[in-house]
């Protein structure tokens, strides 16, 4: 599956692998991309959804 959309609205790009994205989930991704601790692109997989858990890896 190819990247469907790349957004550059924060400090790092957001690479989205789905066209079916909740507005709230998109806003959370944009907020995450603006945090100073994030230094690598953010990947949103096809099962992305709004929530309170960040399943990722920080340096």
| 42-44 and 14-16 beta bridge pairing | parallel
Six token digits for residue 12: 């790092």
> What string of pLDDT tens digits covers the 59 residues of the chain?
799 999 999 999 999 999 998 999 999 999 999 999 999 999 999 988 888 656 666 65
Partnered with residue 44 across adjacent β-strands are 16
Query: Residue 13: how many CB atoms within 10 A of its CB?
Result: 15
Burial 40-54 (b: 16+ CB within 10 A, else e): eebebeeebeeeeee
Q: What is the pLDDT at residue 15? A: 96
CA 27/CA 29 separation, integer angstroms: 5
For the entire predicted model, the pTM comes to 0.82
């Amino acid at each position: 599956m190819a990247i469907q959309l790349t957004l550059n609205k924060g400090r790092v790009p957001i690479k989205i692998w789905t066209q079916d994205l909740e507005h709230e989930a998109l806003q959370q991704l944009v907020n995450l991309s603006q945090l100073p601790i994030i230094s690598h692109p953010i990947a949103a997989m096809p099962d992305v959804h709004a929530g309170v858990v960040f399943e990722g890896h920080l340096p």
